[in-house]
Amino acid sequence: MIGHSGVSRRLFLNKIIGSSALTASTLTEVKAAFAKSLQPLGDSNAAHLGGDTDEGYWDKIRKQFLLQEDLAYLNTGTLGPTPRVVVNAMNEYWHLMAVNPNENSLVLQDRQEQIRMKAAAFAHVTPDEIAITRNTTEGTTILTHGLDMKPGDEVLITQYEHNSLRETRHRHAKRFNYVVNEVQFPMPCTNEQIVKAFDAAITPRTRVMHFANPLGGYGCFTPVKELAALAHSKKIFCFVDGAHTPGMVQFNLSDWGIDGFACNSHKWLCGAAGAGLLYVRKDIQDRIWPNIDIAHGDPVGARKYDQLSRRPWPCVAALEDILDFHNAIGPARLEQRTRELGSYLRRNAVEIPKVKIYTPMDPSMSCGSTTLGIDGVPGMRFREYLRQKYDAYVPAGGTHLRISTHFFNTFEQCDRVLKALKELSSGAA
């Protein structure tokens, strides 16, 4: 019998029950089966594939997910669905843990350095600058708590930050008696407005600029390279909350020139919850202390930030698998598809009376996340109308809602949102 992952269940069980010495080879077999399952995701015409020009291909990709057949899942910005092949592989890892917890935990743990290398390549940095964390919040907390701050120091964030950054910063500032200032600019905005707002907010006491890219609640990409250059010109640290970056767009942390970056695998990367990444630039690692320090000796580089003792190693192993999944399809192709869906939604929604788009229309400042609202229509009314009439799921909001359109979504699902917008804005609903 062959399971979804392509691994013979009988062979799998014979190996793990027959001899604990075969655990490493069993994992190798699971990984080999997983790699084989990714082969059909590629295409000899990959360079020519777009979004609306090859719906057949993207329909094949959509079938890699366990999503309900008719559900338009439009909330990747909160929690992305995990592909079937990754779910199956992770189930095998949990099975290994169940039949021989300690030994097989060590087998999975031994892959940590290989995963670190793949993650570093994905982010275009060195392995010594990458720590494997549990999520963005953990990485943000390390960057916040790890840097020594003095009374009167200042930190700049934006008015649009997620609570995991805002509240962490404000609580830490209260503890160490420094100041957190929220930089103000309108939404939608321009790159120039963002840079000017930060520049105007900097004082001689500013030590850190810490902001999201993109700003998750609005899908607005910040001019991160310009902001990093501005920060460094004034000897200020530049940290980025990248919760919505991996999986939505290609990114190069070395090119950005920032000092720290935290992200997760459970949003646009569509991986399992429980694994994330933290980048700390090599030159400042002696300035950033770890939150947990249980390591024997002195771990090399950013490894000192991921010494968490016991952790769910199947979730870490699945981080490697979701990176392989994205690489099998191609990050450039995935970004192109996601951009086409987001642009299609915004381009058509902006033409509907009473609809306001809060996400910038500039393609360089937006991608798969669109925040919009309807004058006179509460966000919850819009959300429930979408769910009940069009089987489309979006997160709860106030006056406006965030619509996440990712590569597994379709133009037909975008059309459902557009129909709902037209009916609610016209009073026909």
Reported as a pLDDT band with limits 50, 70 and 90, residue 399 is confident
Alpha-carbon Rg for the chain, nearest whole angstrom, is 23
The mean pLDDT of the chain is: 92
Looking at residues 19-24, what average pLDDT do you find?
Answer: 55
Whether the predicted pLDDT of 4 surpasses 80 = no
| 242 close to 294: Cβ distance less than 8 angstroms | no
Whether the predicted pLDDT of 49 surpasses 60 = no
Helix (H, G, I), strand (E, B) or coil at 276: strand
The residue that leads in pLDDT, 299 or 208, is 208
Backbone phi and psi for residue 266, each to the nearest 5 degrees, phi listed first: -95, 0
d(CA 8, CA 198): 57
Strand boundaries in 221-379, DSSP class E: 237-241, 260-264, 276-280, 355-357, 369-374
Reported as a pLDDT band with limits 50, 70 and 90, residue 133 is very high
CA proximity to 219, closest of 75, 404, 392: 404
Whether the predicted pLDDT of 189 surpasses 60 = yes
Taking CA atoms, 187 is separated from 65, 180, 219, 343, in Å, by: 34, 21, 10, 17
Q: Can you give the pLDDT at residue 25?
A: 75
The residue that leads in pLDDT, 414 or 298, is 414
pTM: 0.92
Looking at residues 132-146, what average pLDDT do you find?
Answer: 97
Please name each of the domains of the chain with its CATH number.
Answer: 112-325 (3.40.640.10), 332-426 (3.90.1150.10)
CA proximity to 52, closest of 409, 394, 419: 409
Q: Can you give the pLDDT at residue 1?
A: 36
Reported as a pLDDT band with limits 50, 70 and 90, residue 52 is very low
Which contiguous run of DSSP H or E holds residue 103?
helix 101-109
Looking at residues 181-205, what average pLDDT do you find?
Answer: 98
Looking at residues 139-145, what average pLDDT do you find?
Answer: 98
Interval 58-76: pLDDT, tens: 999 999 999 998 999 999 9
| 96 close to 106: Cβ distance less than 8 angstroms | no
Looking at residues 270-299, what average pLDDT do you find?
Answer: 92
Q: Can you give the pLDDT at residue 428?
A: 84
The residue that leads in pLDDT, 309 or 221, is 221
d(CA 360, CA 161): 17
Whether the predicted pLDDT of 250 surpasses 70 = yes
d(CA 35, CA 293): 35
Looking at residues 76-101, what average pLDDT do you find?
Answer: 95
Looking at residues 250-267, what average pLDDT do you find?
Answer: 98
Q: Give the percent of the chain with pLDDT over 70.
A: 92
Looking at residues 381-393, what average pLDDT do you find?
Answer: 97
d(CA 170, CA 155): 10
CA proximity to 358, closest of 419, 401, 408, 294: 401
**Both tokens of residue 341?**
């869906």
Poorest-confidence range of 7-21, 108-122, 174-188, 199-213?
A: 7-21
| 259 close to 282: Cβ distance less than 8 angstroms | no
Looking at residues 88-109, what average pLDDT do you find?
Answer: 93
Q: Can you give the pLDDT at residue 396?
A: 87
CA proximity to 422, closest of 326, 348, 367, 369: 348
Look up residue 359 and give its DSSP letter. Answer: S
Looking at residues 178-191, what average pLDDT do you find?
Answer: 97
User: CA torsion 280→168→212→256, rounded to 10°?
Assistant: -20
